[in-house]
Amino acid sequence: MKRLKHGLTIAISSWSPAASAPEEARSAERRLRPGERLAFGEGGRYHAGRIDVPAAGTMVLLCRSPRPLRIWLERMLVLDEDIFWRSYQRELRAAIVLPCRKGSYDMLVEFGPRPRHPEGIDRDCPSRNRERVMREIARRRPDVLELDGEVVPGAEVPAVSIRFLPAQFVRNGTTYQHVMVRRVSGAFREPPGLSCWSPVERTEEAFRLFGSVPPGAVIEGTSREEREHGWFRFYVPVADPAFCLPPVRDFGPEKRAEPEVEIAGFCGLTVEGERGSATVKMPVFESLGRCAPRHEYQEMRWPQFEEAWPRLPQPVLPEEWKWMSELYRAAWEMLFGLARHPAPESGLPGPYISTGSGFKFHQFVWDTSFTAMATAYGHQAMPAYASLDVLYSRQFDGGYIHREHDVRDGLPALYEPDFSPNPPIMSVAEWAIYRLAADIRRLRAVYPVLKGNHIWLRFNRRLPDGTYWTTGLANGLDNSPSLGEGYPCLTAQMAHDAEMLGLIAGELGMEKEKREWMAERDEIAEALNRRLWDPRVQIYSTSLRGGGHNPNKVVTAFWPLWAGIVPQERVAALARHAKDPSSFWRHHPLPSLAADSPHFRPAGDYWLGSTWAPTNFAAIKGFQRSGRADVALDIILRHLRCMYEVWKDTGKIWENYCSEESKRGSWSMPDYCWSAAGPIAGLFEVVLGFEADAARNTLRWRPPCREGCGAANLPFGDGRVSVILRAAGHEPVIETDSNRSLDLEVEWRGAMHRLAVRPGRRSCRLNASSQSAAV
């Protein structure tokens, strides 16, 4: 045993093989050899041992275990701790503080299984890195129990067990860390007395906790449910503005096997009673979100839908498209209904739009990013940055942002071993909001976070051929048969991310960094087009280790279009795939897996054929960017129509949809955040043809050839503008109503009309003279 600080060292003298019953374990005890560790065995659930205590006083035992366990000393339960299988910590760290006598103590340990991911993950979401990760986990987490102890002579401290948790939050500049405390019942109590009329009048000695980091005072945050189960929750100060936790890693290849929260140092946690105190060596975990724009929880007023509705933009649609207005309103109503207010001690910086009504505890990166592209249009009516700020607050030192977090404690949630980064499209979302809001301060605040995330991916997911690898869970395609080496989705997303970072750097005046980002984008584009284009099928596909490409046509084949890196002749080939009725052009296009794949499931079965809002949005925006606005419009009109029909039938907007008829997907959750992207952002940008550039005071519009279309109350910087096409003849009339001046560029029948919009209600007829006119 290690000597901890200032007390007398406790020794463990014996340890048994694993046994199926306590008495069997006790009868098999044997003395430990020098240096022998307390290894967990197979074929049982109990170990027995003996602890030798050198003096009377208070015993402090520090425990580290890769398995959930219970520990009894002298048949008294002193520790009872689970390990949640979704925690990347994969271990428990705890302390036992106990009044003790000098002598030998009988110890019994009951242990449970090591945490492991679900078996279906290996079947449906294999990874080129899985075997290496599992070996590294076993090396870093040997299957042994670590017990380090000492005695504080003469002190008699209330008996408690303490669980050290990595959850942290910041309040008034001080970082607090969670600990859970449980009284050890019946530990060396006084003899029965004469003062109580009833046993319920007996009182246990009070205990107090103090931290060694200023301000020292520990805050109690016990919930009613925790108290009912005998638990106390406390928040211990571990860092303040004068003592910040140092970074635990820099940019570069990861040395961890998974996104565990590592220990940055130690502090003292003192347990005090009426007859003495003892100090425990408490691990202090690394802090997350060092570069985030917001660290401390800030409660903000989130308006109700009916209150916000008058301040939201309104699509103006011709009669045959009026149904889209109903879906548009339903999408906004759903989003406002998904607003959540986490506990201030969760580590999250404030309220956010949750993933969906069926995802109470978990928030995802790419789901949140697509949602932000929709809520960008409500930036004057709601906290449009709030959900993205939740993601940034969870960034590790070194740049990594995990795909999924538990909103109860802000920690990364395990579903597959390994790092699992979602598509890096937060920069795309930020740029979308910037185009409408023109808030340069926001770009300055988020640029370091976005840059760090990109650098982590470059170091840890780039292959020697310049493409990028991922997994089904990391890229969000779960059970899709899109397996292989280099993936078109992440490779294209990294090119797009580099472009967005270059544009942001340019806005911030960082011309050198802009050039570097744009050069990186070109390099990634070259690698994608050289390595991930299947010339036989004429589609982008995952590369295979032995050469060739995955034969399945997956919807992410269209993602390079959105990044703007597809040669024109390949755009035409992708358009043919999208409009092929035997492949992607189904009743509800575009299915996640082409219908002519042998793995296609007509009901959907998640990513084996369901139609998904995010991949549709990426393809739609991609065709629009690549000069095929006709294909983009065809897809979004079918997509929105099918969504509308399902909404009319069920009253819900769904996570995914059946591609073969207007139904929800077979594995689909209702009230899902990212499905608002099409009915809101897709409606304004693709159906109605608006492109805002508020930073340059320019609104571009390519109206559909329909009278009575446009937008009212469109947010534009700090102002609002309404633009409506009133007559769609040879010389259509454009009506505007704005509270600010701006430049309106209208593309009509191949000609560009530049109109200088003035505040107030105005109108202008589009003709040869209006190609540069004042309105």
Across residues 387-409, what is the average pLDDT? Answer: 98
**Do 348 and 418 belong together in one domain?**
yes
Which residues form the domain of 336? 305-687
Whole-number average pLDDT of the chain: 95
**Do 219 and 358 belong together in one domain?**
no
Q: What percent of the chain has pLDDT over 70?
A: 97
Which residues partner with 231 through β-bridges?
Answer: 182
773 pLDDT more than 70: no
pLDDT value of position 706: 81
Across residues 576-597, what is the average pLDDT? Answer: 99
φ, ψ dihedrals at 83, nearest 5°: -125, 120
**Do 344 and 271 belong together in one domain?**
no
In a domain, 295, yes or no: no
Across residues 714-739, what is the average pLDDT? Answer: 92
Q: What percent of the chain has pLDDT over 90?
A: 91
**Do 225 and 321 belong together in one domain?**
no
pLDDT value of position 770: 64
**Do 446 and 539 belong together in one domain?**
yes
Give every CB contact of residue 749 below 8 A, 6+ residues apart in sequence. Answer: none
Q: Grade residue 188 by pLDDT with cuts at 50, 70 and 90.
A: low
**Do 478 and 600 belong together in one domain?**
yes
380 pLDDT more than 70: yes
Across residues 141-168, what is the average pLDDT? Answer: 96
Six-digit token string for 466: 């310049």
Six-digit token string for 226: 């925790």
Last residue of a domain, one of 687, 712, 747: 687
pLDDT tens for 331-378 read 999 999 999 999 999 999 999 999 999 999 999 999 999 999 999 999
321 pLDDT more than 80: yes
Half-sphere exposure of 280 (CA within 13 A, CB side): 32
In a domain, 293, yes or no: no
Greatest pairwise CA separation for the chain in angstroms: 104
pLDDT tens for 461-477 read 999 999 999 999 999 99
In a domain, 499, yes or no: yes
Least confident of 69-78, 119-128, 604-613, 709-718: 119-128
670 pLDDT more than 90: yes
Please tell me the total number of residues recorded for the chain in this structure.
Answer: 775
Across residues 632-653, what is the average pLDDT? Answer: 99
**Do 698 and 683 belong together in one domain?**
no
Distance CA 725, CA 730 (A): 12
In a domain, 132, yes or no: yes
Q: Grade residue 459 by pLDDT with cuts at 50, 70 and 90.
A: very high
**Do 243 and 310 belong together in one domain?**
no
Closest CA to 640 of 624, 653, 626: 653
**Do 471 and 550 belong together in one domain?**
yes
Q: Please tell me the total count of domains within the chain.
A: 3
In a domain, 432, yes or no: yes
631 pLDDT more than 80: yes
pLDDT value of position 515: 99
**Tokens 């007390």 belong to which residue?**
7
